[in-house]
Structure 1
Amino acid sequence: MLKKELRKTYRAKRAALTPKELAVNQDLILIQFQKLDIPFLEAVHTYIPVSNLREPDPQPLIDWLHFRNPGMVCAAPVADFNSGLMKHVVINDNTEYLVNQFGVTEPAEGLELDASVFDIIFVPLLAFDLSGFRVGYGKGFYDRFLAECRPDAMRIGLSFFDAVEKISDTNNFDQRLDYCITPERSYEF
Structure 2
Amino acid sequence: MKPEVRDDDPLFAAALVEFERYGIRRANVDDIAKRAGVSRSTFYRHFTGKDDILNQLVMRYVDQFFGALQATVTGLGPGEAIIQAFVAGISLVRQVPLFVSILESEPDLMVRMNAVAEGTAIVDISAKVASTLRQAGATLSDERLREVSELLLRIAISFIAFPNGGIDVASDGQARRFAEDYLAPLIDNGGGNHH
Please report the TM-score for the alignment, with normalisation by the length of structure 1. 0.31
Indicate the structure with greater strand content. Answer: 1
Answer with 1 or 2: which has the greater Rg. 2
**Between Structure 1 and Structure 2, which shows a larger proportion of helix residues?**
2
TM-score by length of 2: 0.30
